[in-house]
Amino acid sequence: MLFNPSESGQGFLEYGMLLVLVAIIVLIILTVFGNAVGNIFSNVIANV
């Protein structure tokens, strides 16, 4: 074959998009449940 395109750039792009998606999901979860998680840690520290 005279033309053999490299697909490594596509793989990196897919991994990058997946990483961005996971980061966005983590930020949304922390925004929604941030105060509840903070209260749980505060209660644990107060009881120790």
HEC string for 2-27: CCCCCCHHHHHHHHHHHHHHHHHHHH
User: The tokens 């697909």 sit on which residue?
Assistant: 7
29-45: pLDDT as tens digits: 888 988 888 888 899 99
Nearest-5° Cα angle at 17, 10 to 11: 20
Task: Give the predicted TM-score (pTM) of the model.
Answer: 0.57
Q: How far, in whole angstroms, is CA 15 from its chain's centroid? A: 12
Question: 18 versus 6: which is more confidently predicted?
Answer: 18
Query: Which three-class secondary structure state does DSSP give residue 36?
Result: helix
